Structure 1
Amino acid sequence: MRGAALALLHRRPWPLVAWALLVPAGIWLAVAMEQLIWAVIPLLVLVAAYVVVDLLGAFVFLGVLIPLSTELDLPGGFSTDFPVEFYTIGLMFAYFLWLLGNLKKRFPVRMVLHPIGLLLLAHWGWTFLTSFSALHPLISIKFFLAKSWYIVVYFFMAGSLLQQEDGIRRFFRAALWVLFATIFIIMLRHAAAGFTFDSANKVMAPFYRNHVDYAAIMTVLFPVVWYWPHGFSAKKSGSRWHLLLVLWLLLAIQLTYTRTAYISLLMAAGLYVVLRLRLLKPALVLAFGLAVGGLLYLASQNRYLDYAPNYQTTIAHHRFDNLIEATYKLEDISTMERFYRWIAGVQMGRERPLLGYGPGNFYEGYRPYTVTSFKTYVSDNPERSGIHNYFLMLLAEQGFPGLFLFVALLFYAFFTAERLYHRLPKGPKRYRLLSLTLGLGVITSFLLMNDMIETDKVGTFFFIYLALLVNGEWGV
């Protein structure tokens, strides 16, 4: 298609002439009207033309944008991931037009009819349904729309386009090149600050909101880097450069001082053993049983109150070793603030068990359900942050059905991965499957301490990994 487009431009160059005239016109209007948007219009036209000519290339460009994207505050208390969210919306409409070009042949039937696709659609549909009973429906509708273009682009579009090894390699190579570039810049800044724990958050701008986002994208992509020579590279062999990149990435993760990232890597290693030994079902049953048993134990006779923090000694720490010590003493402010919100989330789920308080409405409704004895110095929450546990967020905002649908989606994805792992012969497809599955394991670990599916650094890869898992099930 790209070659045909170039041949057409050679015969009829008027689109290039028109674009060449549009560039100075846009710059002149931007200066005259003092609005930068006019200068951006020629770039948007160029991007739109590229999308038409090479849809896969346009999707691969997402890999470039995701590590570079930053949070941008909008009027009305809303925010967006700029520029990746706007680009995602544009790709969604381009994908719709591409489908309409040959709907019978291009419609992603296999993605829709696969149990992972059906569970994802059910999860998506429940998000839509609970938006109408929400505490603030406008917030929920915005949440639903954002989730919609994530699912359409990163699951359905990814499943339609990333069906060949070359396309998969191009996407992840683009993402990793830019990721390592941001790592290099951030480590230089961090080195100038002495690699201190206290400066870890300050050196992230403008690429990452905080050290957790930075650690998350590195950890989510670590299995891809680990298996790159055998699962993604055309050379199919390792090298000293690969080993250096792995060690560099591990060092960068270490220097984020993010406990969840460390635990996630350990859990990914455990997941690998579980997959190899076909122990996934008993492992998930055990994990589910321990979670339910722990909740019942803490709820019985209000035992959870025995773990309430001391308000005076539960503070923020400026040294990582002090933070680790405070964590197991239950005197770390971030951990105890999580408990404060988790308790509220459970109480919200008990109050509205069927429909919850509506997607995106945790902040609007959690105050009356907090327990004062767990209050910390940061409980005023001026930054309007969430519950920091995706599963409890679903319980509070979408009730028990919303939680069940998402857990079922995760369970089935891991069951599919285990089945495929033992069905595939040793080779690139099996190594790619391992990298995707371990990446999903890392994301699941992060969801226990954060609510990150609707963020560009994690949610994008969550849906892409699911899409590639479905493609693997169909032998693609």
Structure 2
Amino acid sequence: MTTKAENTEKQSNRNTLLFLTIFTFLIGEAYILLNKYHWFILFNLIPLIAIIIISIFYFTEWTIFFMVFVTPLAIGLRELEITQNFDLSIPTEPLMIIFSGIYLINEWLKGITPKQVFKHPVSIIIFIQILWMFITTLTSMNILVSLKYLIARLWFVISSYFLMTYLFRDFNNIKKFIWMYLIGLSTVAVITIIKHAEYNFHHKIADWIVTPFYNDHTAYGAALALFIPATISLMIIEKNALKTNILLVLTVLIITATVLSYARAAWVGVIFALLTFITLLLKIKFKTLLITLISSLIIIFSFSEQILVLVGKNKTDSEGGLYENVVSIYNIKNDASNLERINRWNCAIRMFLDKPIFGFGPGTYQFFYAPYQISKEKTIISTNFGTGGNSHSEYLGPLSEQGLIGLIIVSLLTVLVFSLGYKLAYSATGQTKILSIGIFLGLVTYFIHGFFNNFLDTDKLSLPFWAFIAALVSIDTYHKPQKQLL
């Protein structure tokens, strides 16, 4: 046993070390203020980084939830004007990198993930996707860009999917995840709505009012739409009256924020989620829906010319108010935003036709699509150098960058997640059933949104997207439904 004198000496040493640390930091602070003011923000991140590192090792689970909470609030290095050479979302992406490393070390030493998770069809298709991205990186037209893209995808998937399947062994952690991200997202929503109100909620202001948290109002809308069904499901299963009322307020808040985001793709995603919910109420099997969908696509393709003529009569532009934005969703006549998307999609298809097997390489679309533009398809938004954008599609992007196999893999992932969502909706019971439906419908909003935009190369959408898939896989693996109907 240690004596009282020894304890006193140890405490004295700790106090001395703490004093010297604070004193050294203050000296550094004074020097930065006088000589290197442009390093002020970065220098003041040091204490925060130290606290986070200590927390990672002593309070790992809660540090993960801190990462979840802060993701909607994270700001990029470029936005902070620290650097223009590369961008990193602070503090989210550094945390993702650290947690990815910790997970891989633990998996290597202890094998913390059950084999059922790795053998799950969804996990297998994710492995295949990563493998194909690696192969197409080797054949890329710009290997450095593709390698960066691949590495970023790895830390997104490891920290947001595989790590979460470990965390979600406890069913309550799924609910905690929704809570933490929702609180962060709601904070952004409140700030954005207050700022937007100063401009009478003008639709043009929605494009930039979400900065510095989001660089695009459509990404903000996608995140909001993703959490509408999940928040409602959490509210339904919550037994605490106070928490239920809080969730009701948050539900109204994020629905309002979604409308005011003027993100039309997010609105379409929510509508499709509602239609999917109706099919669940009617207990329609996913196989039946899949066959119906394929048949419908064949019919639509057969009458594509007549449909284009009909749709072409819509000349309502999104430059108007809320009503005009809704009506302009299917305007392919003179709406610049819609026409630019069509321009980008056509470029992606032409790029695919040039390199149908391996594509141009992951993350390279924006560097190579410019020559594939046709004059008659260009809009006032288009640029001759192809700057300022990507393919605007989670499906055509991989087609142009990773070839036909890239599109097939993404399509299979979509089908498998839908199949799993329907399976859990019909076979689970109680809280598990309700939460599964909410999470699945949230994913539906993004799978639909993915036809119009692509944000899975950002932490803001990658974390909730992969974590929601991890939640469904975890429910299927750890929290077995009592009966199987599919």
Task: Quickly name the TM-score band, shorter chain normalised.
Answer: 0.7 to 0.9
Secondary structure at 2:77's aligned position in 1? strand
Q: Which residue of 1 aligns with 2:381?
A: 378
Distance 1:322 1:336 in 2: 16
Deviation at 1:305, TM superposition (A): 10
Q: Which residue of 1 aligns with 2:258?
A: 253
* Matched ranges for 1:328-339 at <5 A: 328-329=330-331, 330-339=333-342
Q: Which runs of 5+ in 1 are unaligned?
A: 1-8
Q: Which of 345-354 and 240-249 deviates more? A: 240-249
Q: Which residue of 2 aligns with 1:94?
A: 102
Secondary structure at 1:209's aligned position in 2? coil
Asked if residue 448 in structure 1 is aligned to residue 451 in structure 2, the reply is yes
Asked if residue 203 in structure 1 is aligned to residue 209 in structure 2, the reply is yes
Deviation at 1:278, TM superposition (A): 2.9
Quick one: structure 1 residues 434 and 322, their matched pair in 2 at CA, closer, same or farther if it must change by over 3 Å?
closer
Deviation at 1:411, TM superposition (A): 0.7
Asked if residue 85 in structure 1 is aligned to residue 93 in structure 2, the reply is yes
Number of residue pairs aligned between Structure 1 and Structure 2: 459
Deviation at 1:248, TM superposition (A): 2.6
| Aligned residue among 275, 280, 289 for 2:286 | 280
Deviation at 1:53, TM superposition (A): 1.0
Distance 1:323 1:51 in 2: 45
Specify the code of the residue in structure 1 equivalent to 2:352: G
Quick one: structure 1 residues 10 and 289, their matched pair in 2 at CA, closer, same or farther if it must change by over 3 Å?
farther
Q: Which residue of 1 aligns with 2:110?
A: 103
| Aligned residue among 43, 46, 60 for 1:55 | 60
Contact 1:126–1:402 (CA under 8 A) maintained in structure 2: yes
Contact 1:23–1:39 (CA under 8 A) maintained in structure 2: no
Deviation at 1:398, TM superposition (A): 0.4
Deviation at 1:128, TM superposition (A): 1.1
Distance 1:16 1:60 in 2: 31
Secondary structure at 1:79's aligned position in 2? coil
* Matched ranges for 1:70-219 at <5 A: 70-73=75-78, 78-100=86-108, 103-104=110-111, 106-219=112-225
Q: Which residue of 1 aligns with 2:407?
A: 403
Quick one: structure 1 residues 316 and 171, their matched pair in 2 at CA, closer, same or farther if it must change by over 3 Å?
closer
Distance 1:287 1:17 in 2: 70
* Matched ranges for 1:320-331 at <5 A: 320-324=322-326, 326-329=328-331, 330-331=333-334
Deviation at 1:39, TM superposition (A): 3.6
Deviation at 1:166, TM superposition (A): 2.9
Distance 1:90 1:341 in 2: 35
Distance 1:378 1:402 in 2: 28
Deviation at 1:140, TM superposition (A): 0.3
Deviation at 1:326, TM superposition (A): 4.8
1:111-158 Cα shifts (integer Å, max 9, x gaps): 211111111010111111101111111100000000000011000101
Q: Which of 209-218 and 19-28 deviates more? A: 19-28
Contact 2:233–2:434 (CA under 8 A) maintained in structure 1: yes
Q: Which residue of 2 aligns with 1:362?
A: 365
Deviation at 1:183, TM superposition (A): 1.5
Give the TM-score taking structure 1 as reference length: 0.87
Q: Percent identity?
A: 21
Asked if residue 271 in structure 1 is aligned to residue 276 in structure 2, the reply is yes
Q: Which residue of 1 aligns with 2:348?
A: 345
1:81-126 Cα shifts (integer Å, max 9, x gaps): 23211221122223234445x514x144332111111110101111
Contact 2:343–2:378 (CA under 8 A) maintained in structure 1: yes
Secondary structure at 1:349's aligned position in 2? helix
1:351-403 Cα shifts (integer Å, max 9, x gaps): 21111110011112212322221111111077521010110001000011111
Asked if residue 317 in structure 1 is aligned to residue 319 in structure 2, the reply is yes
Q: Which residue of 2 aligns with 1:3?
A: none
Quick one: structure 1 residues 350 and 322, their matched pair in 2 at CA, closer, same or farther if it must change by over 3 Å?
same
Give the TM-score taking structure 2 as reference length: 0.86
